[in-house]
Amino acid sequence: MTRLALIGYGKMGKMIESMAATMDCAVVSIIDPNHPGAHPVIDAASVADADVCIDFSHPSVVMDNIKALLELKKNIVVGTTGWNQHLDGVREMVDQTGTGFLWGANFSLGMNLFGRVVEYAAELIDRFESYDSYGFEMHHRQKADSPSGTAIELAQRVLKHSSRKDTAVYDKLDRRPEQNELHFASIRGGFVPGTHTIGFDSEADTIELVHRIRSRSALASGAIMAARWINGKRGFYTFSEMISEIIC
């Protein structure tokens, strides 16, 4: 059984706690300064009994959390988004501390399979110049980052297989997009768990690929799966790399 420490006890933390026992895991510690009864800080005592720490906190604190956990030689799964610019630095810290680290922009198994479908579609449609590509995503109004980490990852998957586009633009455009730009828009409102759309459009027709999450349980189960997988491992991994290993 894999023993888990939860860093952040919001909606995702509670969902992971409710599902852990059904996936041969046990939550042995909760760390959240805003939750009564939880440990207020990450220290040797609060994570002593944990094999793996799962972070679903906030972009403003995730780097401090990662640094503290790596100093304590703890293996980590990070589902918090909005810190992509620090990936190279974290990779170096993981190598230096000899720990195991796994992160993902989206821990839904379906989304990771969807990403592979998007790549295949982009490669196929790139052979026909009559099609232009675009993307957009929708999330609940409480989401802290925009664009989502998943949107950024999907955009990169499209660009990887495009001979005509090499730059993703996520901001509002007050001009026509350039031919080499992939426009990927974001919408925030209501209670939408997450919807991502990739489109390919010509004068004759439109092809759209859509992924919709119905419940955060899809993300929670993926995070728990990742925690079990990274337990005892060393090195820096992505959730996509984990899925690739399972598929192969």
pLDDT at position 236 is 98
Question: Chain-wide mean pLDDT for the chain?
Answer: 95
Decide if pLDDT at 17 tops 80: yes
The 10s digit of each residue's pLDDT in 146-201 is 999 899 999 999 999 999 999 999 999 999 999 999 999 999 999 998 999 999 99
Q: What integer pLDDT is reported at residue 177 of this predicted model?
A: 94
The structure tokens listed for 208 are 């759209």
Taking the domains of the chain in order of start, what are their residue ranges?
A: 2-107+216-247, 109-212
Q: What is the pLDDT of residue 106?
A: 86
d(CA 155, CA 163): 14
Q: Write the DSSP string, the chain.
A: -EEEEEE--SHHHHHHHHHHGGGTEEEEEEE-TTSTTSBSS--TTTTTT-SEEEE---TTTHHHHHHHHHHTT-EEEE---S-GGGHHHHHHHHHHHT-EEEE-S---HHHHHHHHHHHHHHHHHTT-TT-EEEEEEEE-TT---SS-HHHHHHHHHHHHT-SS--EEE-S--SSPPPTTEEEEEEEE-TT---EEEEEEE-SS-EEEEEEE---THHHHHHHHHHHHHHTT--EEEEHHHHHHHHH-
Choose the catalytic residue: 74, 139, 183, 211. Answer: 139
Q: Which residue is associated with the tokens 């589902």?
A: 79
Q: Is 165 a catalytic residue?
A: no
Name the fold adopted by 2-107+216-247.
Answer: Rossmann fold (3.40.50)
Residue 143 is among the residues annotated as catalytic for this protein: yes
Kindly name the residue from 143, 165, 183, 196 that is annotated as catalytic. 143
Considering only the top CATH level, what class is 109-212?
alpha beta
Summarize pLDDT for 116-160 with one digit per residue, the tens. Answer: 999 999 999 999 999 999 999 999 998 888 999 899 999 999 999
